[in-house]
Amino acid sequence: MPRTSLTLPHFLLALAVVTVWGTNFVVIRLGLNHLPPLIFATLRFTFALLPAIFFIKRPAVPWWNMAAYGVLIGLGQFGVLYIAMSGFISPGLASLVVQTQVFFTIGLAMWLSREKIRAFQGVALGLGAIGLVVIMVHTNAEVTALGLALVLVAAASWAGGNTFSRAAGQVNMLAYVIWSSLFSVPPLLILALVVEGPSAMAQGLVNADLGTWATVLWQSVGNTLFGYAAWGYLLSRYPAATVAPMSMLVPIFGMGASAIFLGEALPDWKLEAALLVMSGLALNMFWPRIQARLARS
């Protein structure tokens, strides 16, 4: 019988993961000071792939599944997210908007299974949509319409990747991420060469200092390998409903770190948008559990 509450060590491990994932948006912004976005994303997945692929056994998952996941997460999520964060949206807002992947995941699941939307899910989606409208109304130097659209594309790609990772079944998530990166690197590299060009790639590598390489390694080792391995470890020992709510802290760490380290302002409208989006996420996550408890009482 799986535990229904995290032990203190496992709570601290989950907290470490969401701290890494939340503050990672500041790290991305710092890396983009020297590296063009697509080249940065290429390096991230290259170091997630190498040398780990030579030591980690390939999971028993069809190649097409890993290819779809690799392209969606590598190019669709992070490639597009890096472009958005290269001057079109602030790190704090990006950390918030990308959490709409939950709503895209719901939509994909309903489309694939032909299920109808439930009342609480409709309310949750409505709250999230209102939060996005608040952000759209306040487009400025911190968030442009293009930046918001790009992050929504990244969120939708993340949701698509979730669909394929679920279809993979119970596998070693660390191995799955490493081997899927084999399919993330080529499209990112090709697009970087076409869009940004070899000269931009060379210039970015020349300009990269120790701090820049530290952001690349943080993306690869800290965010990707540690984050996914630790999260997968927790999900293998606890019900998803016990672990998943911790991800609600990601935008809090993202917006907080951006305010502290980058001086990103937190005006009332931004806090209102965060409250609306996160209220929608919380309703979607917790309402079924509340209903179940009420039914047992």
- Taking residues 102-130, what's their average pLDDT? 75
Full domain range(s) for residue 170:
12-119+145-264
More confident residue, 114 or 282: 282
- Residue 285 included in any domain: no
Where does 33-118 have alpha helices with state H? 37-49, 63-71, 80-84, 91-97, 101-113
- Residue 294 included in any domain: no
- pLDDT for position 93: 87
- Residue 2 included in any domain: no
Contact 49, 175 (CB under 8 A): no
- Residue 31 included in any domain: yes
Q: Encode pLDDT of 19-76 as tens digits.
A: 998 899 999 999 998 899 999 999 999 999 999 999 999 999 999 999 999 999 999 9
- pLDDT for position 40: 94
Question: Structure pTM?
Answer: 0.85
Identify the weakest region by mean pLDDT among 61-75, 153-167, 207-221, 236-250: 236-250
Secondary structure percentages of the chain, helix, strand, coil, to 5: 80, 0, 20
Say yes or no to pLDDT of 1 above 50: no
Of 149-153, 234-238, 278-282, which has the strongest mean pLDDT? 149-153
- pLDDT for position 134: 82
Of 114-118, 193-197, 251-255, which has the strongest mean pLDDT? 193-197
Q: Encode pLDDT of 245-295 as tens digits.
A: 777 788 888 888 888 998 888 888 888 888 888 888 777 777 777 777 777
- Residue 29 included in any domain: yes
Of 3-17, 34-48, 118-132, 223-237, which has the strongest mean pLDDT? 34-48
- pLDDT for position 207: 85
Q: How many CB atoms lie within 10 A of CB 179?
A: 23
- Residue 32 included in any domain: yes
Contact 185, 74 (CB under 8 A): yes
* Domains identified in the chain, total number: 1
More confident residue, 130 or 77: 77
- Residue 137 included in any domain: no
- Taking residues 203-228, what's their average pLDDT? 88
The pLDDT-based confidence of 170 (bands split at 50, 70, 90) is: confident
The pLDDT-based confidence of 188 (bands split at 50, 70, 90) is: very high
* Separation CA 133–CA 150 (nearest Å): 15
Of all residues in the chain, what percent carry a pLDDT higher than 90?
35
Tokens describing residue 264? 């990103």
- The mean pLDDT value of the chain amounts to 85
Identify the weakest region by mean pLDDT among 124-128, 137-141, 207-211: 137-141
Nearest to 94 by CA among 42, 24, 32: 24
- Residue 138 included in any domain: no
